[in-house]
Amino acid sequence: MNLIPRTIENSAYSFVLVAVLLIALAGGKTEKVRDYAICTYRNTGLFSSGMYPDPPIYGTMLRDERYKLTVYLNPVGSKEPIEGQLFDMDNDENELHNLWNSPGHRDIRLRLTAKLLGWETRQELMLGSRGGDMFPSPSQRLDNRLK
């Protein structure tokens, strides 16, 4: 059962709702909301130089009870095929054997990719797009080097 409304006019409200649900889940006060977890990376981490990675890195990961799928998105206008990773976490917890191109795992990759695409679409409809890249000014850059 999905407890988060599909459309919310106030996106700040949606983040509060998600936080409340996560606290309840962590405390064992509610059953799981979904059978998967998703993590996105949209070239937002800065290198020690204060700049984004070049070429940019855009990826989204979906983890269900057994598999972990990561899809890397190509820059706009790229003619390169979409790349990714698929790991069987029951049999390869160290993620050493990428099953992305395995014919025997094609249906699993397609099923998880479809689930990921559905989630991405709902996020876009609910929250809108990221709106493009903006580089921080030199005074706003963080020094993230290990000391």
pLDDT band at 2 (very low <50, low <70, confident <90, very high): very low
Alpha helices in 2-127 (DSSP H): 11-26, 106-127
Model-wide pTM > 0.75 = no
Instruction: Express each pLDDT in 45-94 by its tens digit.
Output: 767 777 777 777 788 999 999 999 999 887 667 787 778 999 999 999 99
Instruction: Express each pLDDT in 7-29 by its tens digit.
Output: 444 455 566 777 777 787 777 77
H/E element holding 84? strand 83-88
Q: What angle do CA 58, 51, 126 make, to 5 degrees?
A: 40
Closest CA to 43 of 132, 107, 118, 146: 132
**Residue-range domains of the chain with CATH:** 33-128 (3.30.1120)
